[in-house]
Amino acid sequence: MTAQIKKKFIHDIKDYIAIAFGLALYALSWTAFMLPYGITTGGLTGVSAIIFYATGIEMQTIYFLVNVILLAFALKILGWKFCAKTVYAVILLTIFLKVGQVIMTDETGEFKLILGEGQNFMASFVGAILCGIGVGICFTANGSTGGTDIIAAIINKYRDMSLGRVILIADILIIGSSYFVFHDITRMLFGYVTMVIMSASLDFYVNSARQSVQIMIFSYKYEELANYINKDVNRGVTVLNGMGWYSKKESHVLVTLCRKNDATNLLRAIKQIDPKAFVSMSRVVGVYGEGFDRIKVK
């Protein structure tokens, strides 16, 4: 096994572990906070929950069957890699939802209210945050929780539209339709509260994970630093020729762009290689191109 293949294999394993963790949070939010308090929200799990409240059919059953249909359409558009992780996620979430409901029900089959009676708002608040973070973890690991996430991923592939916004539009329609099933304004409003908090949590998590920084390094050991950035950080670097106006000495400036979570390791390396280096670091609004985000415009 070559070093490159080994590195890719380890990266994929980390993705699958991250997806499993995100799904565990997502299932926890539903089985511990949403279902026990009769709260629904958008997405396919929201539709499944509405059907569960109305008919008693377990939500994981509806969730699994509809996802099979959606995956058949997504296979050609998103490719085998995305669908493989999504199939993994759908199967895992189906199991997590089932296990979670078993744990969160008592001997009579009633859900346990872990926050106490009448804590619907707190349940929707906590459940929404866990849902948003869980979905965000799945997306940053190049996975999906299935359902409307598949539709969101398809749209996000071709349009410069945030994942949270796509899911938000679908959720508005799904939650609005729940009124025609329950005829209960309160339950619908709790659904919208959950939707807004979940969407904000999702965008916050995904965007914070994708934040990039621009680093300018003024150093006489620019060659050693440039090699480190290329080989260890796996980022491109540009060398600019300059001159210190006070000293009138020629100098070289390294300019590189990297993810925020790579910046700490890079700063440590700079300190080790050249403690006297002058470094400027600034956040950037967006970085598009190889190794970063794709440009997606109409």
Tens digit of each residue's pLDDT (9 = 90 or more) over 76-100 = 666 666 677 778 888 999 999 999 9
Q: In the structure encoding, which two tokens stand for residue 107, read together?
A: 């001997």
Contact of 86 with 142, CB cutoff 8 Å:
no
Contact of 280 with 274, CB cutoff 8 Å:
no
C-alpha to C-alpha distances, 275 to 219, 240, 251, 260, 268, nearest whole angstrom: 9, 20, 16, 21, 10
Beta-strand pair 237-243/250-259: antiparallel
Per-residue confidence (pLDDT) for residue 82, from 0 to 100: 61
| Three-state helix/strand/coil letters over the chain | CCHHHHHHHHHHHHHHHHHHHHHHHHHHHHHHHHHHHCCCCCHHHHHHHHHHHHHCCCHHHHHHHHHHHHHHHHHHHHHHHHHHHHHHHHHHHHHHHHHHHHHCECCCCCECCCCCCCCHHHHHHHHHHHHHHHHHHHHHCCCCCCCHHHHHHHHHHHCCCCHHHHHHHHHHHHHHHHHHHHCCHHHHHHHHHHHHHHHHHHHHHHHHHCCEEEEEEECCCHHHHHHHHHHCCCCCEEEEEEECCCCCCEEEEEEEEEEHHHHHHHHHHHHHHCCCCEEEEEEECCCECCCCECCCCC
CB atoms within 10 A of CB 123: 25
User: Residue 153: pLDDT above 90?
Assistant: no
User: Residue 227: pLDDT above 60?
Assistant: yes
Query: d(Cα 89, Cα 84) in Å, to the nearest integer?
Result: 9
Q: Which residues make beta-bridge pairs with 217?
A: 254, 279
Residue 219 makes CB contacts below 8 A (sequence gap 6+) with 225, 252, 254, 270, 273, 274, 276, 277, 278
Looking at the chain, the whole-number percentage of residues with pLDDT higher than 90 is 14
Average pLDDT over residues 35-56: 85
Query: d(Cα 280, Cα 264) in Å, to the nearest integer?
Result: 13
Read off the pLDDT of residues 255-297 as tens digits, 9 standing for 90 and up: 998 877 778 778 888 888 888 888 998 887 666 666 666 655 4
User: Could you give the angle at which helices 59-103 and 148-158 cross, rounded to 10 degrees?
Assistant: 120
Q: Which residues make beta-bridge pairs with 21?
A: none
Of the ranges 42-46, 50-54, 179-183, 212-216, which one carries the lowest mean pLDDT score?
179-183
Planar angle of CA 278, 283, 285, nearest 5 degrees: 150
Per-residue confidence (pLDDT) for residue 298, from 0 to 100: 44
pLDDT band at 152 (very low <50, low <70, confident <90, very high): low
pTM of the model: 0.71
Mean pLDDT of the chain: 81
Higher pLDDT, 261 or 114: 114
Higher pLDDT, 4 or 176: 176
Contact of 74 with 86, CB cutoff 8 Å:
yes
